[in-house]
Amino acid sequence: MSNSFPDWHGTTIIGVRKGNEVVVAGDGQVSLGQTVIKGSARKVRRLSPGGYEVVAGFAGSTADAFALLERLEAKLEATPGQLQRASVELAKDWRTDKYLQKLEAMLIVTDGAEVYVITGAGDVLEPEYGIAAIGSGGNYALAAARAMIDSDKSAEDIARRAMEIAAEICVYTNGNLTVERITK
């Protein structure tokens, strides 16, 4: 029996580190097939496990991403102030746990000093040039941000403009942004 239910699409998330500031921005569009279901989803969140500030953006299934964010918070509580260790532990669980293996999402996480992309393949990737992007319009946003990173623009200005460019190109990305900034 094949599943004829259309795929969910519609996320672009970017993280930009410049100087002592990291900005994570995400669009608000969720599409089912060729239909926009919602234009104002909030895919970037601030987490504060034990008072430790982390910003996370997610692409993929919302329920799956929330399950992963809950696990990340638990890992951060177990390893306070150690985003890299918590991220590696989450990726390890995600890859080996039978329940988690079925989750379809990706995360960008930052504590203001480090930026990581976490995937279900067990990857914890630290991006080059301080820029990470995921989702359907991620490559467009990444290219735009890389072109601007050496300019006088702030991390937030770069993230906003890169998301604007991605929204102009990717039909699964809109201009309704959630932006979170964190500094170290």
- Report the alpha-carbon distance of residue 46 to residue 173 in Å, rounded: 21
| pLDDT per position as a tens digit, 58-108 | 998 888 888 899 999 999 999 999 999 999 999 999 888 888 888 888 999
The mean pLDDT of 117-142, rounded to a whole number, is 94
Average pLDDT, the chain: 91
Q: Is 110 a catalytic residue?
A: no
Residue pair 17/131 in contact (Cβ under 8 Å)? The answer is: yes
Q: Which of 45-54, 142-151, 158-167 has the lowest mean pLDDT?
A: 45-54
Sequence-ordered list of residues with C-beta below 8 angstroms from that of 127, at least 6 positions apart, any chain: 15, 115, 117
Query: What is the spatial distance between Cα 101 and Cα 173, in angstroms, rounded to a whole number?
Result: 26
8-171 placed in CATH 3.30.470.10: no
CB 182 within 8 A of CB 111: yes
Catalytic hit among 11, 12, 110, 173: 11
pTM for this prediction = 0.92
For residue 102, the tally of other CB atoms under 10 A from its CB is: 10
Of 15 and 51, the structure prediction assigns the larger pLDDT to 15
Q: Name, in order, each residue with C-beta under 8 angstroms of 98's C-beta and a sequence gap of 6 or more.
A: none
